[in-house]
Amino acid sequence: MEILVPELGESIVEATVARWLKQEGDQVSVGEPVVELETDKVDLEVGAKEDGVLVKITHQEGEDVKVGETLGVIEPSAAGDGKPPDKGQQAPSTDTALERTTASAETTKAQPKPGNGSGGERVTPVARRLAQEQGIDLSQIEPSGTGERITKDDVQRYLAQVKEAPAEEKVAEESTPQPTPSPSKPTPSPTATESYSPRREIRQRLSRRRRTIASRLVEAQRNAAMLTTFNDVDMSAVMEIRSRRKESFQEKHGVRLGFMSFFVKASIGALKEFPRVNAEIQEDEIVLKQYYDIGIAIGAEEGLVVPVLRDADRMSFAEIESAIREYINKSQQGDLSLEDLRGGTFTITNGGVFGSLLSTPILNPPQVAILGLHRIEERPVAVAGQVIIRPMMYVALSYDHRIVDGREAVQFLVRLKELIQDPETLLLEG
């Protein structure tokens, strides 16, 4: 029974073998994850089609594979006796075998967790690579998140604790009186060569996601006539609503009222007035999309991901906030599915959460526009002939000038600004 690279989803034809959860000669059970694949969007676990023994691994960790290629071979157990087969015996294969992928938390949680940290526990690929590079036993690390999965932050926190321990020991030693050493011959000073400490370098293999991000960003700049226009938005009205309604909103819906739901709604209002911003180029045609699947850029542990709010125009503020929170949690645990990331007609990215004051976001092809949000900063502004202090945010719209004119881009941001500064309009005009 061949273990095949399964269908990986929209536009994904390759993957990288991240790690083998079983080795040659190991017994496997039907549905049990055998190998983990890394794609540019998500990590997938390929499970065994039936009970048997893994008799051959054809692609090692780190190798790139295509959809349909053979990853390894399982020889089914005879009458379920569980005995490993003769390794000299050739395992049967079939071209129609389709491996079941499991990216859900339920499947991975069902994996056994060996105490030696050798590969069965729930660990994100980045965390595993960092632990291997630093020589850390993963069984010594407890996950801090709600999904019981060890992340890069957990490994880094463990490293910091380990580094602090020797420092504490050193302080204790220095506080203990030491006997006066007897006079001895002076030690010759080291030569220039001996005292020189070479600069260290660490080489890390680019993950498939990072490689794809790099190529797509370069492709976006090469294939689109990309420009960026800017505006600033007075956030006073939105902040006043959040302050006044945040407690009742959270009590009723179980989620905090954030800024993103306002910008999602305002973006949809502006997209309806300027439909070319919600379009795509296909060969010599412009495809104007009359649905609004809004991508929300999230800085995940293994690289930027853009999960999509489907039909966001039909979602309430609470549904938007709940969906975004769920996506953030799933990205932290590495549980985003291909369906979560598929498609999208327009993207919003918020660099303000990292402290960015201004930026020029890069397009997310095949989309033709992306909105960049930034940190809120109190600044003096002129209002009705007076200079007052207001919480202001710079917003940026990067767009493909091939189908979006500068006039449309500027008017889009002006309309967005109007809707944010008068948020009641979002309710009155839907």
- The domain segmentation of the chain, as residue ranges, is 2-111, 113-163, 226-428
In which band, very low, low, confident or very high, does the pLDDT at 44 lie, cut at 50, 70 and 90?
A: confident
pLDDT, average across residues 168-184: 51
Element (H, E) at 246: helix 236-253
Q: Choose the catalytic residue: 64, 311, 401, 422.
A: 401
Is 293 a catalytic site residue? no
CATH topology of domain 113-163: Dihydrolipoamide Transferase (4.10.320)
Asked if the 2-111 domain carries CATH number 3.90.1570.10, the reply is no
Q: Choose the catalytic residue: 64, 137, 405, 422.
A: 405
How many of the other CB atoms lie within 10 Å of CB of 110? 12
The pLDDT of residue 113 is above 50: no
User: What would the pLDDT profile of 213-256 be if each residue is shown by its tens digit?
Assistant: 787 778 878 888 999 999 999 999 999 999 999 899 999 999 99
How many of the other CB atoms lie within 10 Å of CB of 263? 24
The pLDDT, as a whole number, for residue 115 is: 39
User: What stretches of 298-421 adopt beta strand conformation (E)?
Assistant: 298-300, 303-305, 308-309, 346-350, 369-373, 377-383, 386-400
The pLDDT of residue 418 is above 90: yes
Q: What share of the chain is helix, strand, coil (3-state, %, to 5)?
A: 35, 25, 40
The pLDDT, as a whole number, for residue 10 is: 61
Asked if the 226-428 domain carries CATH number 3.40.50.300, the reply is no
Is 405 a catalytic site residue? yes
In which band, very low, low, confident or very high, does the pLDDT at 186 lie, cut at 50, 70 and 90?
A: low
